[in-house]
């Protein structure tokens, strides 16, 4: 007899499979270098021996990459990049707000206080880059028929 699954379980299973495929293409070294460069640009004099800031930025970069990859699946139906980007604005803004909040608290921890309005554009630029990377990777996987 066949196993009965709900749509939620099927969607979750499909999302996990897609995320695994996308993560295989992501270079951890590339993400690490980008996040360290990003944190050095914002907090040039912060001594972060434990790598708290860069590890946090790596987590956010991976989340943005996976979000872009999930939305990149929509491109196979002919939807344009701009339309997909508009649809994902809410999710991307949530990530940006969270990253800006974390950056602010990390700055306070290292006594390098920054205003949230100052950190927001940097966080948006960083996450937008990784979102686009994920989108392009997903689009490439579809074009090469690796799905």
CB-facing half-sphere around the CA of 3: CA atoms within 13 A: 5
The whole-chain average pLDDT of the chain stands at 87
The tens digit of pLDDT for each residue in 91-119 reads 999 999 999 999 888 887 767 667 777 88
- pLDDT band for position 1 (50/70/90)? low
In total, how many domains does the chain have?
Answer: 1
The position carrying tokens 């554009």 is 121
Question: Quick one: residue 51, left, alpha or beta (phi over 0 = left, psi -120 to 50 = alpha)?
Answer: left
Asked if the structure places residue 3 within a domain, the reply is no
Asked if the structure places residue 21 within a domain, the reply is no
Asked if the structure places residue 10 within a domain, the reply is no
By the 8 A CB rule, do 76 and 94 touch?
A: no
pLDDT of amino acid 30: 95
Distances, alpha carbon 52 to alpha carbons 48, 79, 123, in Å: 7, 38, 16
Owning domain of residue 125: 28-40+51-143
Q: How far is residue 43's CA from residue 57's CA, in Å, rounded to a whole number?
A: 13
């Amino acid at each position: 007899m066949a196993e009965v699954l709900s749509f939620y379980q099927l969607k979750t299973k499909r999302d996990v499979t897609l995320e695994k495929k996308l993560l295989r293409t992501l270079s951890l070294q590339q993400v690490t270098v980008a996040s360290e460069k990003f944190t050095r640009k914002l907090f040039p004099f912060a001594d972060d021996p434990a790598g708290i800031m860069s590890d946090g930025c790596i987590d956010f970069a991976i989340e943005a990459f996976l979000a872009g990859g999930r939305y990149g699946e929509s491109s196979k139906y002919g939807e344009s990049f701009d339309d997909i980007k508009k649809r994902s604005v809410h999710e991307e803004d949530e990530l940006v707000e969270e990253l800006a909040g974390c950056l602010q608290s990390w700055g306070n921890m290292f006594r390098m206080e920054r205003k949230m309005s100052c950190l927001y554009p940097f966080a948006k630029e960083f996450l937008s880059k990784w979102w686009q990377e994920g989108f392009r990777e997903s689009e490439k996987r579809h074009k090469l028929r690796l799905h």
